[in-house]
Amino acid sequence: RVTEKTLSKKGVEVENIFQTKYGALKVSDLVGKKFGTKVSLSKGYAYVLHPTPELWTKSLPHRTQILYATDIAMVILQLELKPGCVVVESGTGSGSLSHSLIRTIAPSGHLHTYDFHEQRSEKARQEFEEHGLQDLVTCYHRDVCESGFELQDAADAVFLDLPHPWKVVPHAKKALKKSGGRICSFSPCVEQVQQTCEALKSLGFTEISTIECLLREFQVRKITLPVFDPDFDPLAHRDNSTEQNGDSGETEAKKRKLDRPSEKETKFVTGVPLTSMPGHTGYLTFATLPPSL
């Protein structure tokens, strides 16, 4: 929670100031501002944005590794979530995915989220209350690998982010509604995927598939390229220049470069892929539990 005043290391109440790469931001400058307002920083400016799950994912305190927007979007799509759905999640972690799930199933759905680490579970519960989401989510401190979910015929979808997800598949089947549902398992290693798929198949799940989401960003730029000249022979031109100038070192080399006939160039707008891109995060395994007749 952001407040105008904060305590210093000496325990003295001082003005709350955030340091950013665009300079200092005084929290008091945000009081009374509408979302979308432009505020001044000491070395630039910023905009006051309405809080969203995407912004929370980028700024949350990391207690564990988290899922980011690319994987989160695919999870919500493949689990076929909508307002009113009941979702089971394990583990809670830092709450990155949890906030996006809650937004999708609100206002009449509910999220049951589990974590075996008591402090992480309690911290997540506090954050949900601070964000006004306590009516849409219930946090549990529980080792679901050993004890299961204690939910039966209740969930429309189950999400697993665990070291041994195949151990939880039987409990997930019990938690899903008898009318059927969807399950997703996030695993960084393909060996985990193999064992999870075997467990899903043995318990009657269908439509089992595993995907990896890789985001490749393109930037639209205007670039310049030489126009191809079929009559120009660069090797012959280089040999002629060598015979005329001799081997006179760097100065003559620069002269040969200047003597080269000017090439025609063209400019055009195109999409250029970035030289670096996010790599592997994890594998998403999806499956469907058919209705029980």
Question: 203-236 pLDDT, tens per residue?
Answer: 999 999 999 999 889 999 999 988 887 877 777 7
pLDDT-based confidence at residue 145 (cuts at 50, 70, 90): very high
- CA gap 121, 244 in Å, rounded: 80
pLDDT-based confidence at residue 265 (cuts at 50, 70, 90): confident
This prediction's pTM: 0.82
134: pLDDT strictly greater than 80: yes
pLDDT above 70 covers a percentage of the chain that reads 89
Pairing of β 206-211 and β 283-289: antiparallel
137: pLDDT strictly greater than 90: yes
Question: 22-48 pLDDT, tens per residue?
Answer: 999 888 888 889 999 999 888 999 999
- CA gap 64, 62 in Å, rounded: 5
Highest mean pLDDT among 78-87, 210-219, 264-273: 78-87
- CA gap 49, 59 in Å, rounded: 13
What pLDDT is attached to residue 253? 53
